[in-house]
Amino acid sequence: MNFQNFPRWMVLGALVFVLSSAASVQAEKPFDPPLAPIKVVLDTDIAEDIDDILVAAFAVSAVEFEVLAITVVDGGVEARSRVARKVAMLYGHPEIPVAQGYSRSMPLTDQRYPGHTGGVRYGEVATDELELPPGSALKADQLIAKLADEHPGEVHLLTVGSMSNVGHLLVRYPESARKLKSIITNGGRFVSKDDQSIGWNLRYDPIAAAIAQRSEVPWILLSETTSRYASPRREDVEKLEEAGLPTTELLSDSIRWWRTNKTDATSLPHVSDLNVFAFLLGMVEVKKGNMYLEIGPKGKLPGFRIEEDAEGKILYGNMIPQQKAEALREYMMECLLKVPERHRAAR
Ligand SMILES: [Ca+2]
């Protein structure tokens, strides 16, 4: 464009406008906004620990993400599906497909099963199908494969629960799975070769984790450390409980039931699973590994070691810095407290 044809004040005015609006965007968000919404499928054991529902609500609400589907895993999948659909509906996106996945770890046959840790903890927030949009007719792995085929090279599969759905996807639909952009997992603690441990999401289904490691899909393993500074504080929880929004009852009831039913629930909710979104927003540093995955026995869960990642093809995510995590918490709260589009007219 040739600015010489415009009066100088007009050019300057336009520049000031552009710069000030860029500055205001940056002031609001602790990350560089993506050019287009990031396509994600959220694979979750929602309705058990509290972080899943908070981050599912965040993902559906945040404009940075396009949630193509939510898939549920690990026992009690009917209840988990209902809770996921209620989140999507109340946050203004009843069209998001929600598919039930596998109840049991590989290679066990799929059957009704309450989950490793007793399963669903806040299913009371969606006890029946009344008023809920219908669930997807497809099984989780089938739906993920279909979406990967429809959007080749664009879909990030975010796994914040047991990896059984991913394992089945990689075995049953390898061609489609290869079209995923990445698998991003909330996986444990990966600081160095000597300072690493495997989180529950990998322990629940070590075979699925091993399959993911050997697959050709880029795999990013993130540390469960985002919670420390990104979790809602007491005043944030009060804001959620007092907001009077269509989503308020769902979130407050979930927190209440979680506290009542989960023996190791803390007084404030945590957001461990937020790390997969923090990574996509460029807020988590990753490094190439040459680490191995030590999946040791724990309780009744099996254990074995996956071979060393000699090629360093897995990316390991370190802790999100405090300042960034606090800024992310602020943004998450803003999204959780947003009046969903579809409800705006009705208010
Ligand atoms: Ca989870």
CB 101 within 8 Å of CB 78: no
- The pLDDT value recorded for residue 227 is 78
Ligand 1 center to 44 CA (angstroms)? 6
The two tokens of residue 13 are 């005015």
Ligand 1 center to 101 CA (angstroms)? 14
Residues 6+ apart with CB under 8 A from 292: 193, 305, 306, 307, 308, 309
| 196 pLDDT higher than 80 | no
Ramachandran category for residue 56: left, alpha or beta (phi over 0 → left; psi -120 to 50 → alpha): alpha
Return the amino acid letter for 235. E
Q: Which residues make up the environment of ion ligand 1, defined by Cβ < 5 Å?
A: 45, 52, 160-161, 273
For residue 180, which of 205, 153, 219 has the smallest C-alpha distance? 153
Ligand 1 center to 309 CA (angstroms)? 25
Distance (Å, whole) CA 339 – CA 315: 36
Ligand 1 center to 188 CA (angstroms)? 12
CB 111 within 8 Å of CB 78: no
Ligand 1 center to 168 CA (angstroms)? 18
Q: What's the Cα-to-Cα distance from 128 to each of 6, 133, 140, 246, 261, rounded to whole Å?
A: 63, 11, 20, 18, 19
| 300 pLDDT higher than 90 | no
Ligand 1 center to 45 CA (angstroms)? 5
- The pLDDT value recorded for residue 119 is 77
Give the domain ranges of the chain. 34-346
| 319 pLDDT higher than 90 | no
Distance (Å, whole) CA 101 – CA 198: 23
Q: What value does the mean pLDDT take over residues 156-173?
A: 97
Ligand 1 center to 96 CA (angstroms)? 19
Instruction: Name the pLDDT band for 275 (thresholds 50, 70, 90).
Output: very high
Of the ranges 95-109, 137-151, 255-269, the best mean pLDDT one: 137-151
- The pLDDT value recorded for residue 142 is 98
CB 72 within 8 Å of CB 46: yes
CB 157 within 8 Å of CB 144: yes
| 20 pLDDT higher than 50 | no
For residue 165, which of 219, 222, 100 has the smallest C-alpha distance? 100
| 213 pLDDT higher than 60 | yes
- In tens, the pLDDT along 112-159 reads 665 554 578 999 999 999 999 999 999 999 999 999 999 999 999 999
Topology classification of domain 34-346: Inosine-uridine Nucleoside N-ribohydrolase; Chain A (3.90.245)
Ligand 1 center to 119 CA (angstroms)? 11
- In tens, the pLDDT along 233-250 reads 999 999 999 999 999 999
Bigger pLDDT: 124 vs 320: 124
Q: What is the mean pLDDT of the chain?
A: 85
